[in-house]
Amino acid sequence: MEKTRPQEGQLALYAAAFIFAFTNLFVKLAGNGFSGLFVSGSRFAIGVVLATVAVLARKRRVDRATVPDLLLRGLFGAFSMIASYVAITMTSPGRAVLLANTYPVFVTIFGALFFGEKPGRRVWGSLALCVAGAVLVVRDGSGANLAGDIVAIASSLFAGIAVNYVRRASTRGVDPFLLYLSPAVFGLPVLFIAPEPASFPGLWPLLFLIGVGVGAFVAQALMARGYRSVSASKGSVTFFLETGLTVLLGALFAGETLSLRFVLGLVLIFSGLWFNRR
């Protein structure tokens, strides 16, 4: 396996966070012509094609002992991705990504309950900060879609389960592109039940739709490259950039409203996640 220097790995993670943020914006903009389910299903279809090519090119074998982890990562990962994309189209991209990115707290909770990890008091303190921040974001008085906020939190919960399986599968040597292919395959049926547009939505929504699939794949590839030389605890801090940049892009291009309570909630969530990663 090609080795990556720590500096190159960190740069790859920053690039991944940057691309993820623009991909989140593309989800919202593609929602002007397509339903949230159709956007999500299209992302999975593009992901299946690109990840399959990558897996075949790398010629990695699958250990039978890792199959359950791979399947469960795919199932819960697909639920999380679908919920995240639907939430973005229901509410603003910044709100949806902010709430969905509280998943490190759920990673800790499920790790303690089902994966033998032992969180300390610091972890529960971070949980309290994140919950308080999420409450402020949901009840910021902006009149945003409450259902969209709830779907975003559901995405965070599913991600909390999926990441534990990603962590365990990664330590057993599962190929990172296979870990991306798994949820894409599980999520692909969404494309066949998603409502199709009644007419051609226009060139820009179509381009944004393609950008979602390609952007998500490129960001995942960069993230996999970065984690070769950067620890998970250090690297995850990098993705605070994704949330902050998504909020900024939402305000600039998607009509996002930033109330005082929203900003305070953002600060509390960032503080909780940072506290948890210390």
What does the pLDDT read at residue 75?
95
What does the pLDDT read at residue 4?
55
Q: Name the 3-class secondary structure at 120.
A: coil
Q: Do 142 and 250 touch, CB atoms closer than 8 A?
A: no
What does the pLDDT read at residue 215?
95
Each residue of 235-264: pLDDT tens digit? 665 666 777 788 788 878 877 777 788 788
Handedness of CA 82, 86, 89, 92 (dihedral sign): negative
Angle at 141 between CA 135 and CA 143, to 5 degrees: 110
What does the pLDDT read at residue 181?
93
Residue 58 makes CB contacts below 8 A (sequence gap 6+) with: 175, 177
Q: Do 125 and 275 touch, CB atoms closer than 8 A?
A: yes
Structural tokens at position 32: 């002007």
What does the pLDDT read at residue 125?
78
What does the pLDDT read at residue 132?
82
Q: Do 134 and 265 touch, CB atoms closer than 8 A?
A: yes
Helices (H), the chain: 6-30, 36-58, 67-90, 93-100, 103-114, 121-138, 146-171, 176-187, 190-193, 203-226, 232-238, 240-253, 260-277
Is 181 exposed, middle or buried, given 0-12, 13-18 or 19+ CB atoms closer than 10 A? buried
Which residues of the chain are modeled with pLDDT < 50? 1
What does the pLDDT read at residue 103?
78
What does the pLDDT read at residue 157?
93
Q: Name the 3-class secondary structure at 40.
A: helix
DSSP state string for 183-223: HHHHHTTHHHHSPPPSS---HHHHHHHHHHHHHHHHHHHHH
Residue 138 makes CB contacts below 8 A (sequence gap 6+) with: 99, 146, 149
CA-wise closest residue to 168 among 257, 81, 256, 107: 107
Each residue of 193-243: pLDDT tens digit? 999 888 888 999 999 999 999 999 998 888 777 766 765 555 665 666 777
What does the pLDDT read at residue 88?
87
How far separated are the first and last CA of the chain, in Å rounded? Answer: 30
What does the pLDDT read at residue 120?
66
